[in-house]
Structure 1
Amino acid sequence: MPVISVPHAFNEEDLYVDLRQMLGQPLFLKCEGFNFAGSIKLKAATEMVESAERRGTITRDSILVESSSGNLGVALSMIAASKGYRFVCVTDSRCNLATRLMMEALGSKVHVVSEGTADGGLLGARLALVRDMCAADPHCVWLSQYTNADNWKAHYYRTAPAIARGFPHLDVLFIGVGTTGTLMGCARWFRNWHRPVRIVAVDAVGSAVFGDPPGRRMIPGLGMSVRPPLLDEAYVDEAVRVEEADTIRTCRSLAMRGFLFGGSTGTVVSGAKDWLDRHDTRGLTPVAIAPDLGERYLDTIYQSNWVQGLYGEDVLLPEAPTEGDGRAGRAGASKGMAF
């Protein structure tokens, strides 16, 4: 049995959900939310902090500072508490309340930006505040998940090899994109594997990751309002984009089967389902990465008033029966997401 003395020493690496029965398509979902930080961001946070410690960038007097929409902030809060560092997270008004409360419970300070800049939106305002803090106090150390190579190296060393061990005949890997740390780490690792793996990036509509104009995005986790500095499109075979309404439908459909996942996971599964519906999946081994679980989204994605106010009542319409299934499926469900 595992016995640990620090919280970041535990992470369940080898748990997958077989979604074939729910989706009508083969898909194995790698669950990354079973650790004390509750998300895949624990890996990047650990790698960035411990690499900075080895370089001497972080000392006992350092104040760790980072911009985060939520999950990385929780992971850094947990690690900072464990190691005795101070941590300040700069987030924005889209950050889930439960996430902010978790960071504060772990002893971190949270600054919430409510107004964006003219050219960079809320992310631009967050980054500007981080720069101001670092300029004002020499003890501040900005880990910079957006530019830090240790972000993608965490997944090169851990996430990709774990998937390869579990699925030696992997054909397609679906990865959600934000900073693109997970995408770049896994894509680089599989580029040199013994068999070709198609890397499909899943992005949110309204994200500028792949050059689209930025638009409204209310669900934190995936997407960015600018092109991520870590992104190298040479490693990406294809990108699919998912409307936030489809993210919500997918999350709620999974929850009706007992699987409560977060918004990032709903986006990835929706995008993967859309891709699989358009391709011949006979003999195909596809895997998707689920970044987090759903408890932090109870007051947003799983709160009907919040959903109706932002996306309208159609998102919550009851589902019509699907062929061969006594369960209900939403009439006209987007991209075949009636389970």
Structure 2
Amino acid sequence: MPVISDPAQFNEEDLYVDLRAALGLPLYLKCEGFNFAGSVKLKAAAEMVDAAEREGRLRPGSVLVESSSGNLGVALGMIAASRGHRFLCVTDARCNRASVRLMEALGSHVHVIDEPDLHGGFLGARIAYVRALCAADERYVWLNQYTNQGNWRAHFRTTAPAIARSFPDLDVLFVGAGTTGTLMGCARWFWQWRRRVRVVAVDSVGSVTFGATPGRRMIPGLGTSVPPPLLDESYVDDVVHVEETDTVRVCRLLAGRGFLFGGSTGTVVSGAGQWLARHGGRELTAVAIAPDLGERYLDTVYREGWPADVTEAEVPAALAGLV
């Protein structure tokens, strides 16, 4: 029986959903949303805060500040509340309102950027705001998830070896690409210890992470408007890009089977289905990482009529070959 005194001490590491029953898809989904922060971002948040405390950068009077589209902000807000730190999250207009309210309930302050940077989009504008804040006031401590090595090391230490323990015969792993912390941590671990495992990155159409053309993106979590400094493509075996309309359809298909997952999960499952259909997936052992659950997306992904061009009844093209 787990008994804890710090909310960061609990995380369900070994829960998987077999999507053959729900979607007819030969894929196991690693569920990372069962902790008090509600997402995989708890791991990176704890790693980065622990390091800042050990190094003496985070001390009495300091104010944690971070740019986040939502989930990391909630995780940092939870850790800050439990350890007595102050925290400011800099987000943008695409952040789910539920995530903002969660951070505020935890005692965090939230600053919302309304206008994107001309070249760097909303992410560029958020980072510019954080840089200016830190330059003007030395109390602010920026963990900088985009360059912080603790972001990927958290998953090198925990997520990847946990998957390997559960699936010793794993053939392919699908990981969504945002800051690429989860992707790089898992890819580096499997490259070092299980080189036969193929690591496939799943990105959103409109993201520039892998050199694609920038475009409008509405769902927070995956994709970037600024190339992520943590990314080393030499560790990645393949990349799949997913349209956000397919993301929404997959999320709603899963909800129709009783599984309410977040937008990033819909993207990863859609991308995995697309890749498996091309590569004879029924003969492979495949795992995908589901970063969070779906409650924070009720006003967007799961709201009828959002976006206007999605028809729920359609099966996404990405799954058509397998469903």
Q: TM-score range by the shorter chain?
A: over 0.9
Which residue of structure 2 lines up, in the alignment, with residue 176 of structure 1?
176
Partner of 2:107: 107
Deviation digits for residues 150-178 of structure 1 (CA, Å, limit 9, x no counterpart): 00000000000100110001110000000
Q: Compute the displacement of 1:56 (Å).
A: 1.0
Task: Quote the residue 1:325 is aligned against.
Answer: none
- Residue 307 of structure 1 and its aligned partner are, at CA, apart by 2.1
> Structure 1 residue 317: deviation in Å?
4.5
Paired position in structure 2 for 1:30: 30
Structure 2 matches for 1:24-103, cutoff 5 A? Answer: 24-103=24-103
Show the counterpart of 1:117. Answer: 117
- What pairs up with 1:1-339 in 2 under 5 angstroms? 1-194=1-194, 196-308=196-308, 312=309, 315-318=310-313, 330=314, 333-336=316-319
Q: How far apart are the structure 1 equivalents of 2:252 and 2:85?
A: 38
Q: Which runs of 5+ in 1 are unaligned?
A: 319-329
Distance in 2, matches of 1:219 and 1:29, equals: 20
- Flag the 1:158–1:111 CA change in 2: closer, same or farther, 3 A: same
CA distance in 2, matches of 1:50, 1:269: 32
1:316 maps to amino acid? T
Question: What is the Cα-based RMSD across aligned positions, in Å?
Answer: 1.2
Cα distance, 1:282 vs structure 2: 4.2
1:192 CA drift (Å): 1.7
Rate the CA distance shift 1:148–1:119 in 2: closer, same or farther, 3 A: same
TM-score (norm 1): 0.93
Q: Tell whether the 8 Å contact from 2:113 to 2:125 is kept in structure 1 after alignment.
A: yes
Q: Is the 8 A contact 1:214 1:226 kept in 2?
A: no
Conserved 8 A contact 2:23-2:254: no
Structure 1: which 4+ aligned runs deviate by more than 3 Å? none
The number of residue pairs the alignment matches comes to 322
Q: Are the aligned partners of 1:93 and 1:114 in contact in 2 as well (CA < 8 Å)? A: yes
The one-letter amino acid of 1:336's match is L
Which amino acid letter does the alignment assign opposite residue 137 of structure 2?
A: D
Gap change, CA 1:120 and 1:277, over 3 Å in 2: same
| Deviations, residues 178-205 of structure 1 (Å, cap 9, x unaligned) | 0000000000000122451000000000
Counterpart CA distance in 2 for 1:161 and 1:333 is: 32
SS at match of 2:220: coil
Q: CA deviation at 1:45?
A: 0.1
Give the alignment's TM-score, normalised by structure 2.
0.97
